[in-house]
C-alpha cells in the first residue's frame, strides 16, 4: 500500500507541472510583508478530488504580523476530508522530486509564508469524501503560539490556480 501511495504522490506531482521552490533550505516560500497582528490566511485552495482517491493536495498563504510562530497541525472540520492530513516539503535532487512529512512549518515574523505546488504543501492522504468545484472544505490550522484558525479552502483546478487566483 505504501508503494502505491508513494507512486501516486509522485505521479500527482509530475502531472501537475509543479516547480521547485527557490527556498531550498526550508523549501517554504517566505517573503517580508506588512501583515495584520497575529497570523492570518491570505489565500487557501485545494485541488478537486474524488472520494477514494489515494492523495490530493491543498495550499495556503499565511501572513504573520506578530512574533515568529509555526504551523504545527492541520485537521478537517465537519467530518474527515482524508484519512490523514500532513504537512510536506518537496525538494528536487538530481532531477528527482521527493517529499517528506514535517511536524511544523516555521512562520517568520512580519512575513508571508506560502505553501505552493512544488514546495511546502498540505497532503490529503486517502480522500474520504469528494472535494468538488464549488465546495469549500474547512480545515483547522493550529499554531505554536497563535489561536487556531478555521478556514474554508476554495476548490480550484491547477489551471485556475495559475490564472491569478493564487495571490503569490
pTM: 0.76
Q: What pLDDT is stored for residue 27 in this prediction? A: 57
CATH top class, domain 2-165: mainly beta
119 vs 27 pLDDT, higher one: 119
pLDDT tens for 115-141 read: 999 899 999 999 999 999 888 999 999
Burial 105-118 (b: 16+ CB within 10 A, else e): bbbbeebbbbbbbb
pLDDT tens for 53-78 read: 999 999 999 999 999 999 999 999 98
Domain ranges in the chain?
2-165
Contact 106, 70 (CB under 8 A): yes
Q: Which residues pair with 106 in a beta bridge?
A: 70
Can you spell out the DSSP letters for 16-65?
A: TT----S-TTTT-EEEE----SSEEEEEEEE--B-TT-SEEEEEEEEEE-
Neighbours of 13 (CB within 10 A): 19
Amino acid at each position: 500500500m505504501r508503494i502505491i501511495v508513494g507512486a501516486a504522490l509522485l505521479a500527482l506531482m509530475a502531472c501537475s507541472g509543479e516547480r521547485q521552490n527557490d527556498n531550498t533550505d526550508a523549501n517554504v516560500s517566505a517573503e517580508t510583508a506588512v501583515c495584520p497582528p497575529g497570523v492570518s490566511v491570505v489565500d487557501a485552495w485545494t485541488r478537486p478530488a474524488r472520494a477514494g482517491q489515494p492523495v490530493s493536495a491543498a495550499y495556503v498563504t499565511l501572513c504573520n504580523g506578530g512574533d515568529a510562530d509555526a504551523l504545527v497541525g492541520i485537521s478537517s472540520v465537519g467530518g474527515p476530508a482524508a484519512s490523514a492530513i500532513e504537512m510536506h516539503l518537496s525538494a528536487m535532487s538530481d532531477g528527482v522530486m521527493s517529499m517528506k512529512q514535517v511536524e511544523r512549518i516555521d512562520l517568520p515574523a512580519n512575513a508571508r509564508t506560502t505553501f505552493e505546488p512544488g514546495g511546502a504543501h498540505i497532503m490529503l492522504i486517502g480522500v474520504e469524501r469528494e472535494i468538488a468545484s464549488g465546495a469549500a472544505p474547512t480545515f483547522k490550522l493550529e499554531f505554536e503560539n497563535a489561536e487556531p484558525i478555521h478556514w474554508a479552502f476554495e476548490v480550484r483546478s491547477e489551471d485556475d490556480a495559475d490564472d491569478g487566483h493564487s495571490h503569490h
